[in-house]
Amino acid sequence: MRLTRAGEYAVRCVLYLARRGPGALVSRKEVAEEADIPGQFLAKIAQQLARQGIIEIMQGAGGGYRLSTDPDRITMLEVIETIIGEIALNDCVLRPGSCGNSDICAVHRVWGEAQARLRDHLNGVTFADLLAEEERLRG
Amino acid sequence: MRLTRAGEYAVRCVLYLARRGPGALVSRKEVAEEADIPGQFLAKIAQQLARQGIIEIMQGAGGGYRLSTDPDRITMLEVIETIIGEIALNDCVLRPGSCGNSDICAVHRVWGEAQARLRDHLNGVTFADLLAEEERLRG
DNA sequence: ACAAATAAGATATGTTTAGTCTTATATCAA
DNA sequence: TTGATATAAGACTAAACATATCTTATTTGT
Ligand code: SF4
Ligand code: SF4
């Protein structure tokens, strides 16, 4: 895998929305400025998050973004994989056909297990957890 | 992180050398053909592995590559990081200065822990383990 | 001296990333 | 119903990176 800039921005965006409260409708401009994300780039990312159902986008004057569900039901894995696709440490894990050896390859198994552990770990972290940790760090 | 093609080739190269026996001197041509690696590209990768002390390169006629130590003392992490640099899930983990928030950022901690776990896991797999697993799969 | 083999640097080539630009569409409010 | 505000969607661009290959030099054994 590789966390691209877009993936990092997606996490920042969702975290900022979570921080503003579950129901808050926040303009793209505000998110972009406060979370330090290039505005137009954020637009692309938000559209992907919306397609995935993680956020809702309101168009037109007074529009903006809001979370479509509670922060404790959104995990880091979801947000990241929405943007960069399924996390894969080696291509052969995602597409076993890409290497003819994959069914008898010992290395393949190592990648598979490492990937599974990483995904499980990230899937265990919700944005509610992140908010709570932020509180702890601040206070 | 991201396992590049070069990283994958490095693992294949070391695994092939381990398979041929710890002391065996194997020509680049043989490694390239048997492990399915473009010859000149393998040369570059081998040079990096040699600089790191993982393999030894003998120049001149009758030259080639050999492991410089036992397969049970070479881990996947070592080989991979020799080629692609330290595994990093997010840039801020490797270079905290790259994001001003890193010391108060809850997300940062998640990346840090995930990265540590992944590296530990890969550091626990030696090429002797891989050879043993290959035996098990074959037999 | 010659042949075999790797070293090292320069040079493509293709893909991905990161971001911008432009035009269209939706919404609110006067 | 018109204008201002805001996002949608797709085309486009520039830079970085990955994946090699080519060329010339150097090393080594016979
Ligand atoms: S050799 Fe093994 S690890 Fe490498 S690509 Fe093929 S299956 Fe995957
Ligand atoms: S916001 Fe947090 S996770 Fe993102 S780059 Fe900065 S420190 Fe790292």
pLDDT tens digits for range A33-66? 999 999 999 999 999 999 999 999 999 999 999 9
CATH of residue B9: 1.10.10.10
Do residues A27 and A139 make contact, with C-beta atoms less than 8 angstroms apart?
A: no
Min Cα separation B53/chain A (Å) = 22
Tell me the one-letter amino acid at A40: Q
Predicted confidence at residue B22, as pLDDT, reads: 85
Domain total of chain A: 1
pLDDT higher than 90, residue A97 = no
Do residues B80 and B70 make contact, with C-beta atoms less than 8 angstroms apart?
A: no
CA B8 from chain centre, in angstroms, equals: 8
**C-beta atoms surrounding B92 within 10 Å:** 21
Cα separation of B46 and A68, whole Å?
A: 51
Domain carrying residue B91: 5-138
Q: Name which of A15, A86, A102, A105 to mutate to probe chain B: the one with the most chain B Cβ atoms within 10 A of its Cβ.
A: A105
**In terms of Cα–Cα distance, which of A54, A50, A31 is closest to A42?**
A31
Percentage of residues in chain A having pLDDT higher than 90: 89
Selecting from A1, A113, A121 the residue whose C-beta is nearest the C-beta of B1 gives A1
- The 8-class DSSP code of residue B26 comes to B
pLDDT higher than 80, residue B1 = no
**Tens-place pLDDT, residues A29-38:** 999 999 999 9
Cα separation of A56 and A68, whole Å?
A: 6
CA dist list (Å): B92 to A5, A88, B1, B61, B109: 11, 20, 12, 47, 10
Q: Which residues of B touch A (CB under 8 A)?
A: 1-3, 8, 11-12, 15, 76, 89-91, 104, 106-107, 109-111, 113-114, 117-118, 121-122, 125, 129-131, 133-134, 137-138
Three-state DSSP class for B126? strand
Cα separation of A109 and B116, whole Å?
A: 20
Residue nearest to nucleotide C6 (CA to C1'): B59
CA dist list (Å): B23 to A94, B17, B65: 35, 9, 10
Place of tokens 């899930």: B89
Mean pLDDT for the stretch of residues B78-98: 93
